[in-house]
């Protein structure tokens, strides 16, 4: 038999184990329950902070958008197209947009906005004042033109870097929508870069191929042509030029870097200086390769004389003097491969009149190199 003392020891040990287990269980329950409470509070707090951060980001972007529109609008102008009727009265027949690129009244716009040589043009500044405008220069190869109004101290835009654009970047378009609602602002993103499109003018009926175009879903309407496409740093990164009538929210702008030489030429020379090769060509794609049974998959095909385009190597041009012929395929220019992304026109425009370039061509299945001295474009031969 166990002694009474031993019995009490066993009982005390059992009680200790029991209450210890109970205490541990209660502690575990309390800790578990508290953790659940803390977890729920933490989730609510994180959610609230995320919502607040998102709201602050939206407010910041909204304020940035407002600031951009307010800062750039004084630089944007409406361009009214007027024709004189038989009774001597001038009537408005259309309009577009432009923006100041110098303080003394130089305005960049689209060529198709000021394409009518018999029309008169009136510039309306953001304060509502009308100014008679003079067309100083039209680019023969790009849908760009420069007009001038008298005066000084105009607010010129800041020019950005269109080579640094990213798809998804926020942009703002400002323009004379429908030639009626001046200084209209729309907002969107860059939805594509380096597009090649064929654009037709609703005013002149002309068509033009635009290369390296910026695609945006910021609404661009008739009358917005020639207006600025702007980033959130209030810099112009494109010139609004075309819209798609088939798709939704498809607008296109000429990159501002392409236009910088136009601006500097007019400021320095009073005209647009362009190098000239003097050929009519098409860039090779699958359809062209199949149509003409070409062995080349890329390059610039100098079109054949019977293609309906007239002389394809223009008489007296640098190409003619160098011995280029219809049917030649230009593969390289100074070692730069030609492609649909780097067309002959884009590459040639990187040179100056007087520069000597070396062309690698394919003629009758043979490779040849030809040196060409570029000249300033001669409009009398076009």
Instruction: Kindly state whether residue 63 falls inside one of the protein's structural domains.
Output: no
**Which candidate in 78, 112, 282, 317 is catalytic?**
112
Instruction: Kindly state whether residue 88 falls inside one of the protein's structural domains.
Output: yes
What six digits make up the tokens of 75?
């630089």
Among all chains, which residue has been given the structure tokens 């695609």?
Answer: 215
Domain boundary among 148, 182, 215: 148
Give the pLDDT of residue 10.
42
Asked whether 303 and 282 are in contact (CB, 8 A), the reply is: yes
Instruction: Kindly state whether residue 216 falls inside one of the protein's structural domains.
Output: yes
Instruction: Kindly state whether residue 194 falls inside one of the protein's structural domains.
Output: yes
- What tens digit of pLDDT does each residue of 234-286 get? 999 999 998 877 767 789 999 999 999 999 999 999 999 999 999 999 999 99
Task: Report CA torsion sign: 168, 172, 176, 177.
Answer: positive
Active site annotation includes 225: yes
- What tens digit of pLDDT does each residue of 144-163 get? 999 999 999 999 999 999 99
- Residue 377: CB atoms within 10 A of its CB come to 19
CA dist., res. 352 & res. 333, Å (int): 14
Q: Please provide residue 264's backbone torsions phi and psi, each rounded to the nearest 5 degrees.
A: -65, -35
**Which candidate in 78, 115, 143, 217 is catalytic?**
143
Q: What is the CATH number of the domain that holds 98?
A: 2.40.10.10
Domain boundary among 114, 148, 182: 148
Active site annotation includes 131: no
H-helix or E-strand spanning residue 158: strand 158-159
CA dihedral of residues 167, 170, 174, 179 (deg, nearest 10): 50
CA dist., res. 238 & res. 253, Å (int): 5
Q: Do both 248 and 301 map to the same domain?
A: no
For residue 320, the Cα-to-chain-centroid distance in whole angstroms is 35
What six digits make up the tokens of 218?
């910021």
Instruction: Kindly state whether residue 140 falls inside one of the protein's structural domains.
Output: yes
CA dist., res. 319 & res. 281, Å (int): 12
- What tens digit of pLDDT does each residue of 104-141 get? 999 999 999 999 989 999 999 999 999 999 999 999 88
Q: Do both 106 and 184 map to the same domain?
A: no
CA dist., res. 130 & res. 141, Å (int): 30
Q: Do both 187 and 255 map to the same domain?
A: yes
Buried b (16+ CB within 10 A) or exposed e, 257-283: bbbebbbebbeeeeebbbbbbbbbbbb
Q: Do both 280 and 370 map to the same domain?
A: yes
Instruction: Kindly state whether residue 67 falls inside one of the protein's structural domains.
Output: no
The tens-digit pLDDT sequence of the chain (382 residues) is 444 444 444 444 344 444 444 344 333 333 444 555 556 666 676 677 677 777 777 787 788 899 999 999 999 999 999 998 888 888 888 899 999 999 999 999 999 999 998 999 999 999 999 999 999 999 988 999 999 999 999 999 999 999 999 999 999 999 988 777 888 899 999 999 999 887 765 555 566 778 899 999 998 888 889 999 999 999 999 999 988 777 677 899 999 999 999 999 999 999 999 999 999 999 999 999 999 899 999 999 999 875 455 689 999 999 999 999 999 999 999 999 999 888 999 899 989 999 999 999 999 889 999 999 999 987 656 5
**Which candidate in 225, 282, 317, 343 is catalytic?**
225
Q: Do both 265 and 306 map to the same domain?
A: no
Name the domain count of the chain.
Answer: 3
**Domain around 320:** 275-381
Q: Do both 184 and 222 map to the same domain?
A: yes
Domain boundary among 269, 301, 323: 269
Q: Do both 223 and 295 map to the same domain?
A: no
Instruction: Kindly state whether residue 177 falls inside one of the protein's structural domains.
Output: yes
Asked whether 109 and 123 are in contact (CB, 8 A), the reply is: no
């Amino acid at each position: 038999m166990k002694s009474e003392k031993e019995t009490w020891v066993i009982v005390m040990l059992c009680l200790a184990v029991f209450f210890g287990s109970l205490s541990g269980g209660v502690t575990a329950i309390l800790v578990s329950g508290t953790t659940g409470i803390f977890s729920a509070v933490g989730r609510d707090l994180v959610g609230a902070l995320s919502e607040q951060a998102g709201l602050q980001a939206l407010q910041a972007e909204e304020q940035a958008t407002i600031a951009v529109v307010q800062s750039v609008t004084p630089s944007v102008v409406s361009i009214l197209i007027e024709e004189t009727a038989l009774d001597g009265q001038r009537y408005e027949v259309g309009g577009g947009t432009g923006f100041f690129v110098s303080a003394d009244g130089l305005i960049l716009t689209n060529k198709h906005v000021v394409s009518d040589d018999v029309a008169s043009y009136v510039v309306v500044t953001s304060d509502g004042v009308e100014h008679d405008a003079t067309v100083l220069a039209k680019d023969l190869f790009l849908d760009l033109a420069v007009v001038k109004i008298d005066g000084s101290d105009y607010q010129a835009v800041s020019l950005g870097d269109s080579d640094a654009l990213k798809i998804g970047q926020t942009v703002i378009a400002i323009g004379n929508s429908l030639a009626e609602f001046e200084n209209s602002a729309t907002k969107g993103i860059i939805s594509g870069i380096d597009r090649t499109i064929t654009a037709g003018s609703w005013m002149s009926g002309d068509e033009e191929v635009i290369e390296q175009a910026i695609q945006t879903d910021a609404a661009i309407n008739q009358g917005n042509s020639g207006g600025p496409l702007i980033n959130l740093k209030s810099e112009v990164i494109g010139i609004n030029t075309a819209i798609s009538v088939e798709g939704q929210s498809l607008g296109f702008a000429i990159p501002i870097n392409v236009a910088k030489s136009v601006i500097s030429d007019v400021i320095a020379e009073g005209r647009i200086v362009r190098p000239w090769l003097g050929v009519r060509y098409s860039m090779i794609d699958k359809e062209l390769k199949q149509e003409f049974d070409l062995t080349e998959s890329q390059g610039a095909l100098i079109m054949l004389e019977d293609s309906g385009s007239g002389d394809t190597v223009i008489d007296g041009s640098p190409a003619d003097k160098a011995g280029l012929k219809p049917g030649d395929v230009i593969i390289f220019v100074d070692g730069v491969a030609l492609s649909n992304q780097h067309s002959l026109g884009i590459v040639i425009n990187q040179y100056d009149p007087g520069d000597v370039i070396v062309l690698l061509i394919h003629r009758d299945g043979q490779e040849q190199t030809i040196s060409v001295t570029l000249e300033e474009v001669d409009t009398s031969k076009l």
